[in-house]
Amino acid sequence: MTDYNELTPYKDAINQCVRCGACQAHCPVYDQARQEGAVARGKLALAKALLEESVTIDSRLEEDVSLCLMCGSCVVKCPNKVPTDKIVGAMRREISNRKGLSLTGKTVAALTGHPPLLKALVKTADVLSPVLFKKVPQTSGLRLRFPVSGHAQRTLPAVASKNLFTELPEFIQGRPDKPVVGLFAGCAITYIYPKIGVAMASLLNHLGYSVFTPRTQGCCGIPARSTGDTKLIEQLNRTNLEAFKAHEVAYIVTGCASCHSGIGETDPNSTEEQADFAGKVREIHQFLYQEGLADILAALPTTKERTRITYHDPCHLKTKGIINEPRALLQSLPNTHYEEMENSDLCCGLGGSFSAHHYAYSKAIGQRKVAGIKASEAELLATACPGCMLQLQDSINHAMLNVQTIHILELISKALALDQKWK
């Protein structure tokens, strides 16, 4: 036996699985793979064997453990609420601790663990964009000219010319009667979709809050959890704790559903300081709704021309019950028509490193969204997660639909015609 097994804190939870199979009907990966190792009860049987060290870590076991989006759909439907998503994370950490990181894990560590490298790569991609990418005809994406094996058909968003930290001052002063709010950006908003971060800061400041966006903040840790990198998870926890100490913040707000889980959840090994940090984390749409923004939007003047929009539920929000607030804000927008689409709560299929390792499955899972998007006749597909935006646009591009993904915050910021006073 090893000195410490990552699964030890979850021993009782693992034993709560009664193998009823309720998870099977709701697992997007099982829907594609159709094998027991892909579904929650199969994963929990493997977890029990790993905990007892009665199984050898071979390629088959590693493959089964990798076949999980960690979306939490099985947890919601489980009668005993077994936290399979967290247990899978612990399994991956245990495997990495014993055998070392996979190539995907090493890549994730190199990028998310070293912001200067990530920044440099993004800048290089921007400069070399005409050489690296080609435009996808009649769609809104780019495709790598020299694709990685297995990713020849993946489409990507255009590279942002400036990252979020060049667009925002580190501190934006608000009203004296309002507290300081920390803005946690995350990798996707910082380097791929900085306009979402600008919209978030604008909205918070519009409501009177001072906004602190520390330059030293790092990745939320979701990619590291996905690859089982214990060392990187701990490093990022320390980085983010220190980053937000420069100002006394009442809340730490994020506009990325995955980041909300990454920094807003604790595990059995979390310190009291980490628990306090997580306790301050707020999801932006829930925060704005509680601030009465839906009423503010509903009071804006309307025009006859209305853009038809629909909404996709990010897994990391729906599993926490954050379902109504994003819709309420969308439905309050003055110049849009909201249309609820069929299967709005189906997983998009990204799952962080899952999409990198299993693009064929990821693409197939994403295609399940297409019929609902098409039937909604929406021009814009809104969501609350930049990762979902990237994945959904890829699915839309493959289906050749004339639909653009967009973050809810961009729509709200446009409706309020916010003036960025710090510019």
Distance separating alpha carbons of residues 322 and 305, to the nearest angstrom: 30
Q: Are strands 251-254 and 180-184 parallel, antiparallel or unpaired?
A: parallel
Q: Among candidates 318, 285, 312, 422, which has minimal Cα distance to 376? A: 312
Distance separating alpha carbons of residues 420 and 414, to the nearest angstrom: 12
Structural domains in the chain plus CATH codes: 8-99 (1.10.1060.10), 298-416 (3.40.50)
Q: Which residues contact 248 (CB under 8 A, 6 or more apart)?
A: 180
Q: What is the pLDDT along the chain (423 residues), one digit of tens a residue?
A: 457 889 999 999 999 999 998 999 889 999 998 988 889 999 999 999 999 989 999 999 999 999 999 999 999 999 999 999 999 999 999 999 999 998 888 888 888 888 888 888 777 777 767 767 778 876 677 877 767 766 778 888 887 889 999 999 999 999 999 999 999 999 999 999 999 999 999 999 999 999 999 999 999 999 999 999 999 999 999 999 999 999 999 999 999 999 999 999 988 888 999 999 999 999 999 999 999 999 999 999 988 889 999 999 999 999 999 999 999 999 999 999 999 999 999 999 998 788 888 899 999 999 999 999 999 999 999 999 999 999 999 999 999 999 999 999 999 999 999 876 666
Distance separating alpha carbons of residues 369 and 347, to the nearest angstrom: 8
Give the pair of three-digit tokens for residue 206. 């519009």
Q: pTM higher than 0.85 for the full model?
A: yes
- How many other C-beta atoms lie within 10 A of the C-beta of residue 343? 15
Instruction: List, in sequence order, every residue forming a beta bridge with 211; answer none if it has no partner.
Output: 172, 181
Residue 1 has what pLDDT? 43
Residues 105-142 as b/e (b if ≥16 CB within 10 A, e otherwise) read beebbebbbebeebeeebbebbeeeeebbeebeebbbb
Single-letter amino acid code for the residue at 172:
I
- How many other C-beta atoms lie within 10 A of the C-beta of residue 409? 26
Instruction: List, in sequence order, every residue forming a beta bridge with 343; answer none if it has no partner.
Output: none
- How many other C-beta atoms lie within 10 A of the C-beta of residue 3? 4
State whether the Cα torsion 146-163-218-324 is positive or negative.
negative
- How many other C-beta atoms lie within 10 A of the C-beta of residue 145? 10
